[in-house]
Amino acid sequence: MQIKLSDPVEKLFMVGPTYAKRLEKLGIFTIEDLLYYFPFRYDDFSLISPIGHLQPGETVTITGKVESIVNEFTKNGRKVQKAQISDNTGKIEAIWFNQPFLTKTIRAGESYNFSGKCEWFGREKVLLSPEYECIKHQVSSIKGKNEINNVHTGRLVPVYPETSGISSKWLRSRIKIALEIFSNQIEEFLPDEMIKKENLVSEKEAIFQIHFPDNQTWAQKAKDRLSFDELFLIQLSSKIRKSLWQKKTLTKKLSVKKKDVDKVVDSLPFKLTKAQERCLNEILNDIGKDIPMNRLLEGDVGSGKTVVATIAAYAAYLNGSSTLFMAPTEILANQHFSTLQSLLSPLGITIELITGSRKPKVQSAKCKVQNCGKNIPKIIIGTHALLYQDFTTNEIGLVIVDEQHRFGVEQRALLAQKGKSPHFLTMTATPIPRSVALTVFSDLDLSIIDEMPVSRIPVKTWVVPKEKRGAGYDWIKTRIKDTPEQAFIICPLIEESESLKDVKAVSIEYEKLAKNIFPDLKIGLLHGKIKSKEKEKILNDFKEGRLDILVSTPVVEVGIDIPNATIMVIEGADRFGLAQLHQLRGRVGRRNLQSYCFLFSEKQDDKSLKRLKYLETTNSGLKLAEADLSLRGPGDIYGIKQHGFFKLKIASLSDINLIQKTQKAVDQILEINSVLKSRLEKYRMTPVSN
């Protein structure tokens, strides 16, 4: 049977089960995945030179015969491999370190390409650690128009993101095979007309050239095409999601007049900001319709999203509907519970809390006691435990989800099934730049609270140079000793998600701080590997002032409210995105106390320091996210990489031009499609009679 692109990568010649397992770590499961695994840069080995013409400093490819290859030892015991190479213009030595296997893989008497840098080594010109590739290979490789000659030398050589046990060299040789055998199966999916108009290369050409480009121009053409594809497909799927959403069963209108909610608004101990009012109006307007709302409410920590959501829940209540309010952690669920209770209980509204540790049984018993009848609308707050409940008590008219991206795919699917097409409000403190929101979340309507309550004093922020670290610690000591004020000290993650290494690093830092720096203060330690009961206890101790300092990895819940925390110290600040630093900083300064943020950086170069200094002068998460986007690319926007919002493979979200182009292309495709659809509708089938 013919092997297909969609078959497991193991079916590919020269990929065994061990490697297939390793490839999974790179997200490669099928042959197609392998072809769509793109290099992030190229080594330019396209300059080909006769050996006699080599100049030190040049990066080149030579072709020559290996006269000899040997292992030697240097004076300090390192193994060196030396090969003598010649062509008809001269001779040169190639040198590698600690690769003793080379004397077996490179055979004397045969011809090879060598690519690398020509350098002085003592008084001799040599090639230092060059890539190599046997010439014979090329002759015996599969003939046909898909044939690729060199892959490691003599060209632009692709370099891929690697994982342990999978090198770029390994990937190159397998991708070569996959291209040679399967590229005829790569199908074009854009209409010819669009390809012409946008001046794109074909899909097959793009896949070929992204791996083994003829030259830089072709590498760019390939990248342009594949970036177009990526943004096009993301936007298309989000459009389709949107139209599916709009075709959902109509829902109950939760319409209120502005003055109906004044009862709550007026009871607040503060005035809503303009931004809060605008967002609230957008939400009330949406839920007043029978098309279910699907809106994202975005705002910095402390910008007052919860209050806005609470008023929306009140509007649902006024219409006789219940609200589900879901938070990603127990701590946050508890926090929301007490916020909503204080705001809405005085109005006689029943608020319930369901979390993992408050089991449903206890809950229903409690429910009986409180005499919640089946038809009294209420507000139910909880963690994902909510998803596994059967809510028959009342019609759920509104579902509010805090930091939805922190829930798993399965949980999100369950969530969508709650109630009969309820109105949906998602909240996030992740600052998502508008361009990103419009691309990736174009199925959602967007409300942004871009203004902080005036009562909040901006956190004073300093990037601390190495030599001032000691002084910084002293300052903190005097600030928190015998005062109610408290400090966070955050250590960066070493790997992408919290690992044992990180736990060790933060534990060592904790020991150091507790023993040497702050011996007379009470310090707590928090990281993701601590059990949730214990975590909650530590956070409570901190909240209630039994600890002066909390040392932690960045796992501390984003929204956590520690009123007396006024100092945020961030170690290895260079390892964070600006927006993420801003979010960490948002955990202090939650009351009217002047708060401070100290950024310690491992990197002391101008570029890193300049980037961090943005935080000294900018107080908007969104502005910082946008700066991140242009300085470091979208991968670094907080919450996106870490929480799997999405990860672009090749396109850049800072390429507004391409975003707009692909948006238009999507509209065009849908237009073609709708003409087709209406033709189909008009086409009357003649019944077949036998």
Q: Looking at beta carbons only, is 234 or 301 nearer to ligand ADP?
A: 301
In angstroms, what is the minimal distance from the CB of 594 to ligand ADP? 17
Per partner kind, with CB cut-offs from 5 to 8 A, the member of Mg ion, ligand ADP, none near residue 391 is none
Interface mask (CB under 6 A) for ligand ADP, residues 434-473, using x and -? -------------------x-x------------------
Asked if 231 and 659 count as a contact pair (C-beta separation under 8 A), the reply is: yes
In angstroms, what is the minimal distance from the CB of 343 to ligand ADP? 9
Q: Looking at beta carbons only, is 198 or 536 nearer to Mg ion?
A: 536
CA distance 498 to 242: 34
Per partner kind, with CB cut-offs from 5 to 8 A, the member of ligand ADP, Mg ion, none near residue 303 is ligand ADP
In angstroms, what is the minimal distance from the CB of 521 to Mg ion? 28
In angstroms, what is the minimal distance from the CB of 276 to ligand ADP? 6
Q: Looking at beta carbons only, is 64 or 559 nearer to Mg ion?
A: 559
CA distance 423 to 321: 11
Asked if 33 and 8 count as a contact pair (C-beta separation under 8 A), the reply is: no
Per partner kind, with CB cut-offs from 5 to 8 A, the member of Mg ion, ligand ADP, none near residue 421 is none
CA distance 438 to 646: 14
Asked if 405 and 425 count as a contact pair (C-beta separation under 8 A), the reply is: no
CA distance 576 to 345: 40
Asked if 131 and 152 count as a contact pair (C-beta separation under 8 A), the reply is: yes
Q: Looking at beta carbons only, is 301 or 401 nearer to ligand ADP?
A: 301
Touching ligand ADP, residues 290-309 (CB under 6 A): 299, 301-307
In angstroms, what is the minimal distance from the CB of 12 to Mg ion? 49
Asked if 58 and 43 count as a contact pair (C-beta separation under 8 A), the reply is: no
Q: Which stretch binds ligand ADP (CB under 6 A): 56-64, 179-187, 193-201, 269-277?
A: 269-277
In angstroms, what is the minimal distance from the CB of 427 to Mg ion? 8
Q: Looking at beta carbons only, is 34 or 622 nearer to Mg ion?
A: 622
Q: Which stretch binds ligand ADP (CB under 6 A): 63-71, 201-209, 234-242, 265-273?
A: 265-273
Measured on CA atoms in the order 581, 587, 591, 597, is the torsion positive or negative? negative
Per partner kind, with CB cut-offs from 5 to 8 A, the member of ligand ADP, Mg ion, none near residue 545 is none
Contacting residue, 121, 189, 270, 391, with ligand ADP by CB under 6 A: 270
In angstroms, what is the minimal distance from the CB of 413 to ligand ADP? 25
Per partner kind, with CB cut-offs from 5 to 8 A, the member of ligand ADP, Mg ion, none near residue 273 is ligand ADP
Q: Which stretch binds Mg ion (CB under 5 A): 131-139, 165-173, 557-565, 571-579?
A: 557-565
Residue 92 Cα to chain centre, angstroms: 47
Q: Looking at beta carbons only, is 305 or 418 nearer to ligand ADP?
A: 305
Q: Looking at beta carbons only, is 306 or 319 nearer to Mg ion?
A: 306
Q: Looking at beta carbons only, is 306 or 461 nearer to Mg ion?
A: 306
Touching ligand ADP, residues 8-47 (CB under 6 A): none
**376: CB partners within 8 A, 6+ apart:** 350, 394
662 φ, ψ (degrees, to nearest 5) = -70, -30
In angstroms, what is the minimal distance from the CB of 540 to Mg ion? 18
CA distance 66 to 280: 75
Contacting residue, 559, 577, 589, 634, with ligand ADP by CB under 6 A: 559
Beta strands in 450-594 (DSSP E): 460-464, 486-490, 523-526, 549-552, 565-570
Tokens of 501: 């290494």
In angstroms, what is the minimal distance from the CB of 559 to Mg ion? 4
Measured on CA atoms in the order 414, 419, 424, 427, is the torsion positive or negative? negative
β-pair partners for 62:
114
CA atoms within 13 A on the CB side of 502: 22
Asked if 179 and 143 count as a contact pair (C-beta separation under 8 A), the reply is: no
Size of residue set near Mg ion by CB under 5 A:
2
Per partner kind, with CB cut-offs from 5 to 8 A, the member of Mg ion, ligand ADP, none near residue 417 is none
Interface mask (CB under 6 A) for ligand ADP, residues 147-166, using x and -? --------------------
Q: Looking at beta carbons only, is 403 or 628 nearer to ligand ADP?
A: 403
Touching Mg ion, residues 301-330 (CB under 5 A): 306
Per partner kind, with CB cut-offs from 5 to 8 A, the member of Mg ion, ligand ADP, none near residue 304 is ligand ADP
Q: Looking at beta carbons only, is 172 or 305 nearer to ligand ADP?
A: 305
Contacting residue, 61, 81, 276, 642, with ligand ADP by CB under 6 A: 276
String of DSSP letters for 130-145: EEEEEHHHHHHSPPST
Q: Which of 507, 547, 546 is nearest to 527 (CA)?
A: 507
Q: Which of 320, 252, 322 is nearest to 288 (CA)?
A: 252
Q: Looking at beta carbons only, is 305 or 423 nearer to Mg ion?
A: 305
Per partner kind, with CB cut-offs from 5 to 8 A, the member of ligand ADP, Mg ion, none near residue 302 is ligand ADP
Strand order in the sheet with 396-402: 350-354, 378-382, 322-326, 396-402, 423-428, 294-299, 445-449
Q: Which helix (H) or strand (E) holds 316?
A: helix 305-318
Asked if 121 and 149 count as a contact pair (C-beta separation under 8 A), the reply is: no
Q: Looking at beta carbons only, is 306 or 355 nearer to Mg ion?
A: 306
Q: How many CB atoms lie within 10 A of CB 404?
A: 20
Which amino acid type is present at position 303?
S
Q: Which stretch binds ligand ADP (CB under 6 A): 81-89, 267-275, 499-507, 593-601?
A: 267-275
Burial class (CB in 10 A: 0-12, 13-18, 19+), 502: buried
Per partner kind, with CB cut-offs from 5 to 8 A, the member of Mg ion, ligand ADP, none near residue 270 is ligand ADP
Per partner kind, with CB cut-offs from 5 to 8 A, the member of ligand ADP, Mg ion, none near residue 455 is ligand ADP
Q: Looking at beta carbons only, is 250 or 268 nearer to ligand ADP?
A: 268
SS (H, E, C) 258-302: HHHCHHHHHHCCCCCCHHHHHHHHHHHHHHCCCCCCEEEEEECCC
Contacting residue, 23, 66, 92, 272, with ligand ADP by CB under 6 A: 272
Per partner kind, with CB cut-offs from 5 to 8 A, the member of ligand ADP, Mg ion, none near residue 453 is ligand ADP
Q: Which helix (H) or strand (E) holds 174?
A: helix 168-182
Q: Looking at beta carbons only, is 340 or 525 nearer to ligand ADP?
A: 340
Burial class (CB in 10 A: 0-12, 13-18, 19+), 173: middle
String of DSSP letters for 432-449: --HHHHHHHTTTSEEEEE
Q: How many CB atoms lie within 10 A of CB 224?
A: 18
684 φ, ψ (degrees, to nearest 5) = -95, 125
Q: Does 559 bind Mg ion (CB under 5 A)?
A: yes
Tokens 């770590």 — which residue?
25
In angstroms, what is the minimal distance from the CB of 402 to Mg ion? 7
Q: Looking at beta carbons only, is 302 or 639 nearer to ligand ADP?
A: 302
CA distance 150 to 157: 9
Size of residue set near ligand ADP by CB under 6 A:
15
Q: Looking at beta carbons only, is 397 or 559 nearer to Mg ion?
A: 559
Residues near ligand ADP, by CB under 6 A: 270, 272-273, 276, 299, 301-307, 453, 455, 559
Residues near Mg ion, by CB under 5 A: 306, 559
